[in-house]
Structure 1
Amino acid sequence: MSTFDTTRLLDVAHGAMDKAIDLLMRNRAGEVQAKGDRDLVTEVELAIERLVRDHLQEQTPDVGFVGEETGGTGNPEVYWVLDPVDGTVNFVHGVPLCAVALGLIHVDQPLLGVIDTPFLHHRYWATRGHGAFRDGDPIAVSRTKTLEESLISLSDYGAGEGGVARTGASARLDQALSQRAQRVRRIGSSAVELVWVADGTLDASLTLGNRSWDTAAGAIIAREAGALVVDADGSQHNTSSRCAVAVTPSLGDALLPLLRILRGTRYWPISATEGETASTARPARKRVVGATAFLATIGVGIGDDDTADTLAEREFSSSRDAQTWIERELPLAEFPAWVVQRPRGAAGAFLFGAVQRGRYAMEAKGCIAWQADEGSVDDVEAYLVEGQVRWRDAQGAAR
């Protein structure tokens, strides 16, 4: 397909959604099956996916289809993506925060999205370049200007494949956001979170991971409503992104630096050609899959020993070089403006350094990323005591 009649395709999507919602409301959950660690699929989800797939293949035979439960078929360049119920656990427990999400993707970007929240009685949709709508009325993101006034959603803690890594990353991010935002919420449905950013209910949503059936439809709806929709590093969101971050533009500059906490995890994209800043210590010049590297971080903590903001990071080929860089840079570091502007100023805040051992691993599309070795005995932290750098190991013992 070289051209797209998005008006007709949107009509097709609405027709498919009508059938899905009718089936869902007539049958509810039905039989519930386990499909992994604390993850579920219901009989009605499988029925919805079959029904929608058949409808779309009849109406758009040249367009492929990818469903969460039954996989993909057809054209890999232009294809529908469906989550028959996003928020299955909520659905099974009778919590109304769930949605049916249908998107149309061309290469790596959505062309349109339709999301229905059947128990909240709303339908959202958007096509590229034509704005976003809820129940036929135009919608737009909030005008919130500070994190301290913001309501932010964060994706669930981990379950299933990669659950431990996701739980750890999510917990660190939760701590950082909770110290800055008015409130942080876990809603349990990426689709709901993204359309709530689109209509201004939420000021930002952060989804760790990026499965297209979860995020594609909501991403285009949020973007067409005026949201900044990006990956964790601020690059434009697409189907290969590690995260789906949607935020009202007025908060982007304040929120995105906090996401550096995710660096070194599977949720942070790093280009194999990304450069390093010169240092008298020797940074790791070339990323080689399997090679060991040490990530040196200078950050700000508040209260407990949790990272509230990352000020600088470098990668080095040895722990000694990483520590040398921190010993030089940490005494020169200053609190960022947001700390000074807090009602209590810098009270309770502190600067620190950390060195983590990790290794380079090949990621999607040929990117080589640094990933932490969990629980490494080489991990150390540095703090300023009367202007002097003092080190301690991961268990808190002085070195």
Structure 2
Amino acid sequence: MSPDTSSAASRADASAPSAIAGTDLRDDLALALRLADAADAIAMSHFDAADLDVHAKPDASYVTEADLATERAIRDLLAAERPDDAILGEEFGTVGDSPRQWIIDPIDGTHNYLKGIPIWATLIALAVDGVPRVGVVSQPSIGRRWWAAEGHGSFTEVDGVERRLRVSDVDTLERASVSFQSVAQWDEAGKLDDLVRLSRSVWRDRGYGDAWPYMLLAEGRLEMVAEFGVQEYDIAALHPIITEAGGRLTAFDGSDSLTEKSVLATNGALHERFLDFFSPASERSA
């Protein structure tokens, strides 16, 4: 079920004031939730359709008519409501050069989507001066959505009840449950040995896939999610949801850049431990 945007805005209004001078993140969050409503309606209308139109991209990944229609709808709404803001989307690139940029992945998990597997989501973020301040992850195929705005907390809705998110307090690798996305991805990044070593060092490892494990992390159900080959639109929306829930999200080198093509998200308590596990601090600073 989608959250009521007016109640989300009201809750944000009762929270701490925005840290961004001249920017009302409450309004931006309410808009992001409305964008997700529109995206959900379009994506679900095409999901698991026998006649879904699918094309291969030059990079051998796939795009469906739902990806294109969903991103167009989001862009149209932004053009009407935030005409001065820039937009970066997976399917149609970048428009504008404003320090306020909406970052969109219309269907994260397209390969699942086109196979009728319900683990996919629409990712919507607002970055201000290059830092994601608002994030919405909407997974309508399983009736779930997660959202956050900087300084206002991170939330989800289950059975019509809004819940504030909080990462786990697990502080040892031996008790940690982790998600690694895919073996092939780690192999291509030259990190397959690290993945095997990780599997022998933690309590549990699974490849849940795409945005969902990051939301499980924000809910306190996982302690680490990591992957390679990511783009800005893959991770921008995840950032405020995880950090407002008390977690951390960086690249594998520990930097906060969205353009490093890797991501390591943790419950915060174990972040330095995982960074050192994959690359000791002495090597990261070299």
Corresponding residue for residue 56 of structure 2: 34
**Residue 34 and residue 124 in structure 1: after superposition, are their counterparts in 2 closer, same or farther (change >3 A)?**
same
Unaligned runs of 5+ in 1: 265-269, 276-399
Aligned to 2:168: 142
For residue 207 of structure 1, the aligned residue among 204, 215, 227 is 227
Q: Point out the structure with the larger helix share.
A: 2
Cα deviation 1:176-214 (Å, max 9, x = unaligned)? 21111122222231x222222111121111122441111
The 8 Å contact of residues 170 and 208 in structure 1, kept in 2 or not, is answered as no
Q: Which has the higher contact order (CA 8 A, sep 6+)?
A: 2
User: Could you tell me whether the CA contact under 8 Å between 1:104 and 1:113 is conserved in 2?
Assistant: yes
**Residue 142 (structure 2) aligns with:** 120
C-alpha distance 2-250 of structure 1, shift in aligned 2 (>3 A) = closer
Q: Deviations 1:146-168 (Å, cap 9, x if unpaired)?
A: 2122111113355xxxx7x8624
Give the counterpart of 1:78 among 100, 110, 133: 100
Partner residue, 1:109 = 131
Q: Deviations over 1:320-376 (max 9, x none)?
A: xxxxxxxxxxxxxxxxxxxxxxxxxxxxxxxxxxxxxxxxxxxxxxxxxxxxxxxxx
Shift, 1:101, TM fit: 0.4
Q: Give the percent of matched residue pairs that are identical in Structure 1 and Structure 2.
A: 30
Matched residues in 2 for 1:156 and 1:72: separation? 29
> What is the distance in 2 between the residues matched to 1:95 and 1:40?
15
Aligned to 2:7: none
Q: What TM-score do the two structures reach when normalised by structure 2?
A: 0.83
1:145 is displaced (CA, Å) by: 2.5
The Cα offsets for residues 294-343 of structure 1, whole Å up to 9 and x where unpaired, read as xxxxxxxxxxxxxxxxxxxxxxxxxxxxxxxxxxxxxxxxxxxxxxxxxx
Give the match for residue 229 of structure 1.
249
TM-score, with length taken from structure 1:
0.61
Q: 2:88 and 2:189 mapped to 1: Cα distance?
A: 30
Which structure shows the higher strand fraction? 1
* DSSP 3-state at the match of 1:169: coil
User: Structure 2 residue aligned with 1:187, among 203, 208, 229?
Assistant: 208
Q: Given that residues 182 and 207 in structure 2 are in contact (C-alpha distance below 8 angstroms), is that contact kept between their aligned partners in structure 1?
A: yes
Q: How does 1:197-276 map to 2 (within 5 A)?
A: 197-235=217-255, 237-260=256-279
The answer to whether the 8 Å contact 2:134/2:237 transfers is yes
RMSD, matched Cα: 2.3
> For residues 82 and 129 of structure 1, what CA distance do their matches in structure 2 show?
22
SS in 2 for 1:145: coil
User: Distance in 2 between the 1:172 and 1:107 partners?
Assistant: 37
Question: What letter corresponds to residue 34 of structure 2 in structure 1?
Answer: G
**Aligned equivalents of 1:168 and 1:126: distance in 2?**
31
Asked if the contact 1:176/1:258 (under 8 Å) is kept, the reply is no
Q: Does 1:175 align with 2:196?
A: yes
Distance 1:59 1:209 in 2: 32
Q: How many equivalent pairs are there?
A: 259
> 1:94 deviation in Å?
2.0
Q: Which deviations, in whole Å up to 9, do the C-alpha atoms of 1:116-149 show, x marking residues without a partner? A: 1112211100001111000232010012222122
- Flag structure 2 segments of 5+ consecutive residues without an equivalent: 1-19
What is the alpha-carbon distance in structure 2 between the residues aligned to residue 242 and residue 47 of structure 1? 26
How far apart are 1:2 and its partner, in Å? 6.4
1:224-245 Cα shifts (integer Å, max 9, x gaps): 000022221333x232344221
